[in-house]
Every structure is written in C-alpha cells, then in structure tokens.
Chain A
Amino acid sequence: MTLREGPLLLDLQRLSKNFGGVPALAEVSFPIFRGTVTALIGPNGAGKTTLINCLTGVVQPEGGRILFQGRELTGLPPHEIAALGIARTFQNLRLFPRLSVLDNVLLGLTSQAGSSLGEALLRTPRLRHRERRLKLAALEALDAFGLGGKADWPAGILPYGDKKRLEMARVFVSQPALALLDEPVAGLNSQETAEVAGLIRQLRRQGRTLLVVEHDMELVMGVSDLVVVLDGGRRIAMGTPEEVQRDPRVLEAYLGRMSVTA
C-alpha cells in the first residue's frame, strides 16, 4: 500500500498536553486525509488515548491547534465537536448499560434528533416523523454490525464482542466525517478481530475517514494508509505501514515491550 493523500480533513499542529507536569503529548503533528485509515500506534502510556480525548474535547490540550476542515477545534466543548461530525469509541467501552441496544445507537444520532424541549414534550408530528426516520437508520446500523434482533435488549447484558460492535454501530450510524476508534479489537478473539478488520476495510471503501488506535499489528498493517507512531508523548515515526515497520526508532520503541508481527 502506498501513502494515499486525499484532501486534508484534519490537521494536528504541535499538540501538547501535560498531566501534573508529565507530558502525555509533546508537540504532536500529523495530518488525516479524507477517505483514509490512519493508524495511531505506540507502547502503553504513549499518549494515544489522550490524543483522542483532545480531539473530542474531553480534555483540553495546553498547546497546539487542531484544524478540522479549516476550523479550530481546541476550546470547543465535546457536544459541539460531535455536531461537527466527529464520533469516537472508548478504550474501555462506554455504553449505557441500562438503555436498550436501540437507544444506545439512537444516541449516536443525537445531533440530528433535534433539541427543542417544547417539541419533545408535545411530541409534534414533525418530531414523530423524524424519530421514525432515525429509528430506521439505527436498525439498519444494528443489522450492518451484526446486532439485528437485539434492538430492545438492555445493552448491559450483551456479550463483550457484541458490546464492542454496538459501540462501533453507535459511531457509524451518524455517518461521521471522522471516526476515532480507540482499540476496537482489544479483548476480542481472532475470529472477531478478523470481522472487525473486515468492517474497517468496508468502511474505508465506502469513503469513511478513520483514525484507529490499535496494539494489534497485524490489523494495523492490514488496514491502514498512514501509520503514526507515538512514544512517551512524542511522534517518533510516520509513514506507510511498510516504512514504519522498517523504521529503526519504531523497532527500538517496541523492543522488549511488544512483538511486531506483520
């Protein structure tokens, strides 16, 4: 695979974040191109999740800029970032266990569901019509992610693999401009991992833009256009999967900490 450079969707510029004086991100810059899969890898504590948290407004970076379609994201609250079309999964699942599977997916469509309290209290025809449309979209997403038939179950009782896919369905139901997946196959067996890899490739073919944080090197090398490597909050390498695999700094960062299989 060669580096495919489409139009720039998101540009990270010298992003920095400290936790109690310890840098979690130190001047990290990289681009995300529209319609590509970018992988973000690095040993434990490298700052990958922190980077996703900065992108979604969950934590505020101390330095640097995030330009999304030319717009500055830093300083925006999470719900406004969501409304711009950036959706994410969490490293440690964050579903709403007491809500139904369907409601969990519908929450992925919050920005389209309308926020008028009066409309909601009176259940106007307009709202009813919209709700019906959203429900259809949600059911379709459930089917696409292999959760058809489980729509009215409480999300909390799903088996782990289903929960992972439910979180992905919740992301992709809104057809986000950018999807951020934090370790989508962590804890899955090899068959489930292959399924998720297939889903990611399929989403890429559909023109979606993804940033995938993953420790599973086989998955990373198989699905990504661009690989960014973090270590200790610094970007130590960036390139196509082939380039990164040959990079001595990457091998060094991983040496003894994780085996690179590809």
Chain B
Amino acid sequence: MRVSRGQRLWWFIRRHHTGLTVWLAAALLALVPLVVRNPYQLGLLNLIGIYAVAVLGLNLFIGYAGQISLGHAGFFGLGAYGSALLTVHGWLPPWPALLVTAALMAGAALLLGIPTLRLHGHYLAMATLGFNYIVHLILVQWDQVTGGPSGISGIPPLQVAGFAFDHEARFFYLVWGVVLIGVTLCLNLMRSGVGRGLAALAQDEVAAATLGVNVRREKVRVFVLSAVFASVAGSLYAHYYSYVNPDGFGIFKSLDLVIMVVVGGLGSVWGTLLGVTFVTLLPYYLEFLEAFFDLIHGLILVLILMFLPQGLVTGLWDHLRLAWAKRRLAAKGGTS
C-alpha cells in the first residue's frame, strides 16, 4: 500500500503533537523579546513566567490530583529566601543554591504532606493555610536571619558561563525556558501511569486504590513535586529582582495562585499560562479599582466555581468534548 507524503506528515503530527506544540510555543516565545522592546512590558512577562512555574506545579496538585493547598506561597517564599540567603552570604553560587533550596523544600513538603494529606477538603485547606501563615510570620519576625519586614537585598543574578541573566530580555529567555521545561514535565506526567493514577484518585479514591493506586503515596509525591516547582519559581524571583521581602509570600498570594489555577482550568497545562497571565495583568488594567482587588479576585473565583467548577479553560473544553461525544453517540443510534 502506498502512503502519500501528506498522509505521513499527518500521522507524524498526530503522533508527536504534544512535543510539536511545545516546540512551536518555544519558537513563538523566542521572538517575543525581538518584538516587545519595552523593558516594563518584558518585566511583566517575566513576572508571569515566574508565577507560571509555581502554578504549573500547583495545578498538578489541585487541578489534576484534586487536592487543595492554600499554602503554596509559603513554598514560593521559602524558595526565594533560601536562594537569597545561600547566595548573599556567598555560601553557594546561584544555581547550586537553587538546587539545594529545592531539595530542602522537597523535604519540607514531605514532612508537611505525610500528616496533612490524610486530611480532606476544608481540613487540608486549613492545614496548608496554617503552614503559609507560620512561614510568613517567621519571615517577618526572625529579622536577624530574614531581615524582617525590610527583607534581603543584593542577591546576585543567575548566570551561565559568565553570561548573567541580569536584564529583562535575558531573563525572559531563562524564565520562559524553565516554564517550557515545566510544561513538558507536566504533559509527560499526565501521559503516564502515575498521572492516570492521580487523575483517578481525584475522582474516586476507593476505586483508584482497588485498581492498584497507592493513594497516600501518590498524594504526597505530587505535593512534594508541586512544592519543588514553587521553590524553583521563588529562586527565580529572588535572582531576578535581587531583592526579597515578606510581602509577596503571604496567604493572599496563596489564594491568588489558586485563582490562577482555577481561571486556567483544573488540570489544564496550557490553560495555566492563560490563568497566570490573566490574574497577573488584571491589576495593571484595572488600576483605578485598586481598592477592590481582593473583592474582584474573590468574585472571579466564586463565579467560575459556580458556573464552571472545572475551571474556565477545562470547563469550556469539557463542555465542547461532551457536546461532540453526544453528537457522535446520537449519530450511532443510542445504546452500544
């Protein structure tokens, strides 16, 4: 049988569409600093990239595995402070500091996750919220080490072979490179047995367990993974701004991260990028409503959860998929 070139190309695209999408995104992102010259706008895109790294991990935990955390700004903050402390005192260069901090956060998440992930719903929300509260309190109060409310400054930039990622365009490539690596890891996970187990336990823990999913272990593992993502994002934050203080790491930041997940859609990797962009840019476009931000964020969350409980992107996508499948079902003539 002869196969036409077009057909072969089509097969290739279908078979590798996940990887091709990532490469396409990489190509488009690579062009951005050539088009967007304004450092202020690039700075915003960099901030979006930093949050995206954290929210990708959080979406695995909340969106994909169906758990809840109101404490990820805590891991984000500890990541930032860990890198800051290790580098300003000259104990470690930036890259090793990032890795060591991430490893420490993995350990912290393990210690926090083993007892708390036995909890469900509100209890898990409260436990993680408590964690974030304590972290924030320590950052503010322990000023001999953390610098208290005024924070730590003079954090060196990340660099590779003498090339420092120390201004907007350079850092853009670094952070969005990390985002794409994160996207790839998430997409890979979702297409594995481990990922299916997470999606299954999100919907029915008993059924998942009887099929062979080690529910407790999987929850802890995805929690640790999400904490590592948040920690890496925090390290990038510290080295980009060269300054950290406790303001950005309180419980309201955790809530913002959750809103980003929900706007992007539960379990949707590409949706995450939209959710982060939307929530990050909102204050800049609605500057005149500054006094009402918390209210607006709350309203967005409530509206989405009321009308699209799967989140904006995933919710709309589910509706489409359902309508499409029902049409096919009708076309086939009902039962079997």
B197 at the interface (CB under 8 A from A): yes
Interface residues as binary, B175-211 with A (CB distance below 8 Å gives 1, 0 otherwise): 0000000000100110111111101100110111111
Complex: A141 Cα to B336 Cα, angstroms: 16
Query: How many A residues have CB within 8 A of the partner chain?
Result: 46
**A110-B206 in contact given A120-B189, A123-B192, A146-B336 (Cβ < 8 Å):** no
Interface residues of B in 253-288 (CB under 8 A from A): none
Complex: A157 Cα to B324 Cα, angstroms: 11
A159 at the interface (CB under 8 A from B): yes
B213 at the interface (CB under 8 A from A): yes
**A120-B212 in contact given A98-B318, A162-B335, A162-B336 (Cβ < 8 Å):** no
A153 at the interface (CB under 8 A from B): yes
Q: Are A121 and B188 neighbours in the complex by a CB distance under 8 Å?
A: yes
A119 at the interface (CB under 8 A from B): yes
- A116: chain B residues at CB < 8 Å are 194
Interface residues as binary, B314-336 with A (CB distance below 8 Å gives 1, 0 otherwise): 00001001100110110000111
Q: Are B321 and A154 neighbours in the complex by a CB distance under 8 Å?
A: yes
Among residues of B, the one whose C-beta sits closest to the C-beta of A82 is: B212
Complex: A159 Cα to B329 Cα, angstroms: 10
Q: Are A94 and B336 neighbours in the complex by a CB distance under 8 Å?
A: no
Q: Are B196 and A106 neighbours in the complex by a CB distance under 8 Å?
A: yes
Complex: A142 Cα to B192 Cα, angstroms: 19
B48 at the interface (CB under 8 A from A): no
**A97-B185 in contact given A120-B195, A123-B191, A161-B336 (Cβ < 8 Å):** no
Q: Are B204 and A94 neighbours in the complex by a CB distance under 8 Å?
A: yes
B221 at the interface (CB under 8 A from A): yes
- B204: chain A residues at CB < 8 Å are 94, 96
**A127-B192 in contact given A98-B318, A157-B325 (Cβ < 8 Å):** yes
Q: Are B212 and A58 neighbours in the complex by a CB distance under 8 Å?
A: no
Q: Are A96 and B212 neighbours in the complex by a CB distance under 8 Å?
A: no
User: Which of B185, B329, B335 meets A121, CB within 8 Å?
Assistant: B185
Q: Are B196 and A88 neighbours in the complex by a CB distance under 8 Å?
A: no
Interface residues of A in 63-81 (CB under 8 A from B): 77-79, 81
User: Which of B192, B212, B318, B336 meets A79, CB within 8 Å?
Assistant: B212
User: Which of A58, A108, A120 meets B194, CB within 8 Å?
Assistant: A120
Interface residues of A in 108-131 (CB under 8 A from B): 108-111, 113-117, 119-123, 127, 131
B225 at the interface (CB under 8 A from A): yes
Complex: A115 Cα to B192 Cα, angstroms: 9
Among residues of A, the one whose C-beta sits closest to the C-beta of B205 is: A78
- A131: chain B residues at CB < 8 Å are 191-193
- B98: chain A residues at CB < 8 Å are none
User: Which of A58, A96, A117 meets B221, CB within 8 Å?
Assistant: A117
- A146: chain B residues at CB < 8 Å are 336
- B211: chain A residues at CB < 8 Å are 79, 82, 87, 107-108, 110, 170
- B329: chain A residues at CB < 8 Å are 153, 157
B215 at the interface (CB under 8 A from A): yes
B153 at the interface (CB under 8 A from A): no
Complex: A106 Cα to B241 Cα, angstroms: 46
Complex: A148 Cα to B10 Cα, angstroms: 23
Q: Are B196 and A113 neighbours in the complex by a CB distance under 8 Å?
A: yes
Complex: A153 Cα to B200 Cα, angstroms: 16
User: Which of B191, B203, B336 meets A99, CB within 8 Å?
Assistant: B203
Among residues of A, the one whose C-beta sits closest to the C-beta of B193 is: A113
User: Which of B188, B196, B212, B322 meets A157, CB within 8 Å?
Assistant: B322
Among residues of A, the one whose C-beta sits closest to the C-beta of B192 is: A120
Q: Are A159 and B213 neighbours in the complex by a CB distance under 8 Å?
A: no
B159 at the interface (CB under 8 A from A): no
User: Which of B185, B188, B203, B328 meets A98, CB within 8 Å?
Assistant: B203
B242 at the interface (CB under 8 A from A): no
CB distance from B321 to the nearest CB of A (A): 7
Q: Are A94 and B206 neighbours in the complex by a CB distance under 8 Å?
A: yes
B214 at the interface (CB under 8 A from A): yes
- A117: chain B residues at CB < 8 Å are 189, 194, 221, 225
Among residues of A, the one whose C-beta sits closest to the C-beta of B203 is: A96
Q: Are A107 and B208 neighbours in the complex by a CB distance under 8 Å?
A: yes
Q: What are 10 contact pairs spanning A and B, CB under 8 A?
A: A58-B206, A79-B212, A79-B213, A79-B214, A82-B211, A83-B212, A110-B197, A121-B185, A131-B192, A157-B326
What is B's interface to A at a CB cutoff of 8 Å?
Answer: 185, 188-189, 191-197, 199-200, 203-204, 206-215, 221, 225, 318, 321-322, 325-326, 328-329, 334-336
